[in-house]
Amino acid sequence: MKKIVVFASGSGTNAENIIRHFKGGSVGTVVSVFTNNAKAKVIDRAKNHAVPVEIFTKSELYEDVLVQKIKAIQPDLIVLAGFLLKFPDALIAAYPDKIINVHPALLPKYGGKGMYGMHVHRAVVENKEKESGITIHYVNENYDEGAIIFQKQVTVLTTDTPEVVAEKIHELEQKYFPGVVEDLLTAKS
């Protein structure tokens, strides 16, 4: 059974969707959720599925303690699902091609520092883009620049608000993200 560690900073809907997807299956399981936000809804979502939660501070993220906690778990894949901090170089070096992220745009457009959530959707609408989507990519030392694993597009109408675009993107994440995680785990078998 492959071990998945999820990092999340907010509501945790993508994290919960991944937990549900693998629950009772034979491919993998979410063994832990890590969060930098002690008030994040992802904590309750994980606990509702009996998944252990590790809460850490921003400074702890870049200290050896967190690296050691991850190494003790020995995950097969680390999944960033709405995790907003830059991932530490020490963990990236320790887990090459084993850390993935979902981004709410079609990279390389609308990526980089500060481009997350509604910031992305506002930019898409303001720039009158005809499409947006999701990108699932490997994490490297630069924001949103790792190799692309998967992209899926959705049409953006001229009448769409950033909130409508956000709903469309969330639907794509919910539909495709768990399957891509599973494909990666089975490919690494």
- Catalytic residues, which ones? 103
14 and 46 Cβ atoms separated by less than 8 Å = no
On whether 17 is known to bind a ligand per the annotation, the reply is no
* Non-local CB neighbours of 38 within 8 Å, separated by 6+ positions: 55
Is 112 flagged in the annotation as binding? no
Report which residue type is found at 179: G
What does DSSP say about strands 53-55 and 148-155: parallel, antiparallel, or unpaired? unpaired
Would you say 14 is a known binding-site residue?
yes
Alpha-carbon gap, residue 50 to 29, rounded angstroms: 12
> How far is 7 from 108, CA to CA, in rounded Å?
22
* 136: number of Cβ within 10 Å: 25
Q: Binding site annotation covers 12?
A: yes
Output DSSP code: residue 157.
-
Q: Which SS3 state, helix, strand or coil, does residue 137 take?
A: strand
- What does R_g of the chain's alpha carbons equal in angstroms? 16
The annotated binding site is made up of 12-14, 101
